[in-house]
Amino acid sequence: MPIQTLAKTIQDFILKHIHTVAQMEALLFLHAHPRERWAASEMAKRLYATEHEIVAALTELHRDGFLRESEGLYQFEPSPERAAIVAEFAEAYRHQLIPITNLIHGKLRRINAFSDAFKLRKDR
């Protein structure tokens, strides 16, 4: 399925809030377990990611208002508006996994290509 099949709200949500697959997986995991509090180390084991990746993902999701953090434990606790878009995103992910992951990976490639343009290179 091409990226165009994704709803504009989902595309905008990904472009604004989802920077890595680990971040997406952390958000979807916490959304699926809204009453539970999780340490980054435990989530990393569950999601087969490094703790560093999950800490970075959780930090950004907390900063963006999707999670509550207390004593190193994270819980899904967004505003009603944010909860609605995450529910819509979770539903889209169930049916459009490939377009969603392609959009995330494409975003990462564009960011890396842009940053590479500013790297100083030594002339020989």
pTM value is: 0.81
**Strands 73-76, 38-39: pairing kind:** antiparallel
pLDDT, averaged across the chain: 87
- Given a cut of 80, is residue 107 above it in pLDDT? no
What integer pLDDT is reported at residue 108 of this predicted model? 56
Residues 55-106 have pLDDT tens digits of 999 999 999 999 999 999 999 999 999 999 999 999 999 999 999 999 998 8
| Three-state secondary-structure class, residue 75 | strand
